[in-house]
Amino acid sequence: MIRDHEFNSSWWGGRVGILEDPAFFSQGEEVRRGMLAPFRWVEFRYPLEKLPDPWLVADAGFVQVDTQLRFRISLKDRAGGSPESSLPVRVGEREAFAIPEGQWPPFLHERFRHLPGATPEKVAQRYAIWARALLQGSPEWCVEVGTASDPQGWFFAEPDDAHLHLALALLRSGATISGLDLYAAALRAFSSRGARMGEARFSIENRSVHNIYARLGALFLDAIGCWIWVDR
């Protein structure tokens, strides 16, 4: 029921699991402990509307650390649009780019900040590793917004079934554009490259991202609860 999460294990430096089957919580306490024992921590993600008895989740030692909203957004016909969508964009497969040290924004709404020992630097490291992996794996869907001499932000995406997974957006620390500017320009670039539908999740705590996607026409689908068990 619990599988290894290789990415989080590599980032954290210990064995990390992911749980997606709520039948786990119907097992006896001894069985649950045996399943959890090999891991430093385990994350459970599940739609809130389908969640089993929340007290069973609590009794198993899982603490809710976040709720994420899942959404879809049409990417068709975004080549024109508002002035902010016309900012210059560099695509990773054509012009290599990297995020300079010191220009990463703080990750104030990320669920992993609640892990014991997860400093802001440790959380930022996770997203730096993820950004590099996305840029290496799907450079045609990773963009830098702004000029080469004055980048304002970055947006990393990857194909996922029939949709484009809008994985990670970063507004440069000290940027002179808004988050709306960054998102609009990136979605325009994805549209111009043939993407027709985007999908992702974001923390419900992040009101700025919620407002941006609402303004850009996203359809919000469901709420995903996120719980973490830690071996303490």
- DSSP codes joined into one string, 145-164: EEETTEEEEEEEEEEETTEE
Give me the pLDDT at residue 79, please: 60
- List, in sequence order, the alpha helices (H) in 13-119: 29-36, 54-59
What φ, ψ does residue 68 adopt, rounded to 5°?
Answer: -115, 140
- Give the span between the Cα atoms of 151 and 157, in whole angstroms: 18
Q: What percent of the chain has pLDDT over 90?
A: 76
Give me the pLDDT at residue 82, please: 53
Q: For residues 63 and 174, which has the higher predicted lDDT (pLDDT)?
A: 63
DSSP state of 109: T
Cα-based angle 153, 123, 90 (whole degrees, multiple of 5)? 20
The residues spanned by each domain of the chain are: 2-68, 71-222
Residue 83 has pLDDT above 70, yes or no: no
Q: May I ask the CATH architecture of the domain 71-222?
A: 3-Layer(aba) Sandwich (3.40)
As a whole number, mean pLDDT of residues 45-65 equals 94
What φ, ψ does residue 76 adopt, rounded to 5°?
Answer: -70, 145
Q: Are the C-beta atoms of 134 and 158 separated by less than 8 Å?
A: yes
At 80, the pLDDT band (50, 70, 90 cuts) reads low
CB environment 65-84: b (16+ within 10 A), e (fewer): bbebbebbbbbeebeeeeeb
Give me the pLDDT at residue 41, please: 98
As a whole number, mean pLDDT of residues 107-115 equals 93
Q: What is the pTM of this model?
A: 0.90
